[in-house]
Amino acid sequence: MYFHSLQFLFFLTVTFALYWAVHRHKWARLGVLMVASVIFYSMWTPLPLLLFVVATGINHLCIKGFRRSQSPGVRKALVTVAIVSTLGVLCTFKYADLFRTAMVTLLGPLGVHVRTEPFGLLLPVGLSFFTFQAISYVVDQYRGEIPKEYTFFEHLLYLLFFPHLVAGPIVRPSHLIERFDDAPVLTSEEGGRGLYRIAMGMVKKLVIADVLGSGLVDPVFATPDAYTSAECFVATVAYSFELYFDFSAYSDIAIGAAALFGFKFAENFNRPYLATNLFDFWSRWHISLSTWLRDYLYRPLGGNRVSKPRALLNLMITMGLGGLWHGADWRFAIWGLAHGAMECVIRVWWWVTGKPPTEGPVAKVRAGFGLVATFLVVVLTRVIFRAPTLERAGEMYGRLLEGSMGLANVSTLVWAMLAVAAVSHVTPLSLFFKAGDLFVKLPVPVRAVVLVLMGLGVRHLTSVETRPYVYFQF
């Protein structure tokens, strides 16, 4: 069940009605959300739900144990069991075949027998997001950052809540589980803003992302040799915009849907292509993942509070594992390590010269160069991210370097969507929120008419077939 489908809108409407019919009773409203979340996930396949329940049960027992123990050793052992078991599920179902091929490559030439047949395990949808959120909950409980111990039911609902289950954002406890005890309130303005975010997400996904993907990105990355260097470059730029508008659309709909039930999720994007360096980019892109990696991996490794060589190593480890999180393929690790290496270069440069000034005309010029350079780095490294194999990525890079001209295969519709994407991306966020404020001030019948007209317009503009969200594969 995709967020941008009529099926989901019907599902959301029914869940909304049932939830607010019993919202004064905690367990009744939470029960509605749990049933809805189970149904939502079961529309793909219900079997992984059992895996999620077992993993949550192990974590919950460990939390109960270390909250009651006064022994530092016991507490550390229990939190370790919880983290290792959760990561074990991720490694087994997502990375087993990757590890198997690595062992074949390393040990095969030495005469060591290693299984050569793929395991063929089912990869549960949303497993990576579930794993990271499960670990953050356990660690926050261990650190004492969560004020109370919640029931297993609340713990499980926090992880399975359908707006964020499949593709994030990774929601902190203060934005969800710590709000379960509060009687929800939904004003007309808050409800209107939630609908506005859902509508904007639909437009981003169906009008911009899907058109760019089907109209140029997919065919070019499938057969780069059939296109000129200029067309390949436009396709790489188009892919970065497709990825942003596809994923931010999912986040918009998730934020809007959660708002309809009285929950406020944090923003997941902040105009990332206006970043002036890679550190700035990662503070704007997929913010819930970037902050998770910072708080639960980089800082526990020592962050930048250690020696400079160790700080650079911590950065490489974080970016490499962050890249590998995206998929069981070494090209994702290479992509992450490439970003990590360039961040290390930036950090060493800052150690030598100091951070660049942020005020004055020289600072503005440097920021402009930094913006262009960062955008190009992001766009070009994503060739590895998007290409189905490293060999295909090599073909794409080779085609880009040939320098052949001609843009005959870039349609007028694709150019129009690229222009819309670029203009909307540089538009100040304040205007985006002001448009939302204007929408919520409209009378309810007028809002309904606007949404219907928008839906009809989207259907008219998009002649392409419905496409899954890019981040579903992660």
Catalytic annotation, residues: 326
**Dist. CA 319–CA 44, nearest whole Å:** 31
**Dist. CA 326–CA 473, nearest whole Å:** 8
